[in-house]
Structure 1
Amino acid sequence: MIMQRLKDKVAIITGGAGGMGHVAAKTFTEEGACVVLADRDADKLQAVVKEVSAGGAKVIGVAADLTSQADREKIFEEAVKAFGKVDILINNAGWGCKLPFLETDEASFDRSIELNVKATYYMTQLACKQMIKQGTGGKIVNTSSTAALQGERNGSIYAGSKSAIIAMSKAIALEVGEYGINVNVVCPGFTRTDNNGHIPSAIDDNFLGITPTKRINVAQDIVNGYLFLVSEEARQITAQVLPIDGGFSGTRAMQAAQNASMMVK
């Protein structure tokens, strides 16, 4: 149900050319926000902007490489130029290096750190500076992963970079809370989006076997978490981590069948 929870708010959403960023743009504009979408894929970005704005929503796209400080600054400059302020930042962009530990090369390591850690850190810093300047507070949601909460095969640097997002978000929240800025983290589990159709369906079966809800995440599930954490209902929530995964990170579910024979007698 649309409630206009973000009426008159201005939100920056990174990774806006597809997947969760695309769905977030539609959801946030439906809730009344003006949206600034950032992505390095200029063509896909403009296609999303055209789609989302077709019904009259206020949305702009900024083609930007989030590993560049100049481009990161450009996103905020364009947001303020278009809408006069920034109330919300959704750090949704990221990269999933899925290589065995013994095969992870330096280029993959560096890209993971540059995009997942450094870009998130400095986008958050720029947002906080703008929000402090405005004097009206704000909401920031950084995107980690359930890989940061559990060991994940072939994901050592991915898990490490996503763990860093949790740690630094909590520390930042401690420093900026006095300015009325909330900083929280969402940890998506495996999520089907329009960006990962190449992943075989067998992966879904693996996750279904360990997921209490017996359903695979879709992008809207994650976006609903974003929406809650930037709403007024969450004004007293900061420095927190919200896993959205159907419950598998909160249980000891195993893919192997278990029965009462495992009980100690």
Structure 2
Amino acid sequence: MGKVDGKVALVTGGGQGIGRAIALRLSQDGFAVAVADLNQDTANSVAEEIKAAGGRAIALKVNVSDRDQVFAAVNETVEKLGGFDVIVNNAGIAPAKILEEVTAADIEKVFNINVNSVIWGTQAATSKLKELGHGGKIINACSQAGHVGNANLSVYSASKFAVRSLTQTAAQELAKYGITVNAYCPGIVQTPMWSGIDKDITSAKGKKQGDATEEFGSKITLGRLSTPEDVSAFVSYLAGPDSDYMTGQSPLIDGGMMFL
């Protein structure tokens, strides 16, 4: 996309992995970026990386499962960066466990972070964009697992199906305010999250670490795992003006794992 001028984006889970790549890419595109993460140190590191490259950024410690903290983060973004145009509800977790062993605590934790945070982020962004009197963009982290459920990732898959549904319903409700709502659906991305998934799946199957990556990776048409930058390039499109006529969509950016 082309450079934006004077716009502001908030990225949750921005301290590492895909979130870090998104924060850096949006800064390169011209956004001032609020890097929100539960880990203050990683948020600070990414914000400093952006500033060292000549961009504008702040770091925010946020528990995205807490509605009040998400609203406060949006307010602080406006106060410190002078505006608000885009939220990327990127934060998420992906514990791997066979369905028979899933507990109530597992479900509560995954849905609080992966689903509730999207609702709180959507609410906070909508409230602020309406207050500011202009439209904007809400961008949600979905997944290939939000299109087809993956074995050993039942609760994660369910949470991402929920995100895809929320993206569709929010798009319909918010269009009248000039707000578009879309999601991005990565496949296997080389991040600390994926390393944890691989470890959990292979351990449950009694295999060696790396076997899950090899198994899933063999299904990728382009013949390689994704990098965080592959995903952030697509989020750049969703955040910019070239996607203004797109809403309610959750496209795959998975290298050809799936064809719909």
Instruction: Output the TM-score relative to the length of structure 1.
Output: 0.90
Query: Equivalences for 1:1-265 in 2 at 5 Å?
Result: 3-4=2-3, 6-193=4-191, 196-197=194-195, 199=198, 200-250=209-259
Deviations 1:32-75 (A, max 9, x none): 10000110101121122112211221000110111112211220
Is there any run of 5+ residues in structure 2 with no aligned partner, and where? 199-208
Distance 1:132 1:240, change over 3 A: same
Runs of at least 5 residues in structure 1 that lack an aligned partner in the other structure: 252-265
RMSD: 1.5
User: Using the alignment, how far apart are the partners of 2:251 and 2:113 within structure 1?
Assistant: 21
**Partner Cα distance (1:74, 1:151) in 2:** 34
Give deviations 1:70-127, integer Å, cap 9, x for gaps.
Answer: 2112201110101222100111101112110000111111011111111111111110
Checking the alignment, whether the CA contact within 8 Å between 2:188 and 2:194 is kept in structure 1 is: no
Q: State the shift of 1:197 in Å.
A: 4.7
Give 1:190 deviation, angstroms. 1.0
- Equivalenced residue count is 249
Distance 1:220 1:134 in 2: 31
Identity of paired residues, percent?
Answer: 28
* CA deviation map 1:217-253 (0-9, x unaligned): 11011111111111111100001111111111217xx
Distance 2:258 2:53 in 1: 38
Change (3 A) 1:160 1:196: closer
Residue 8 of structure 1 deviates from its aligned partner by: 1.2
Q: Is the 8 A contact 2:217 2:223 kept in 1?
A: yes
Larger radius of gyration: 1
The residue identity in structure 2 corresponding to 1:177 is: A
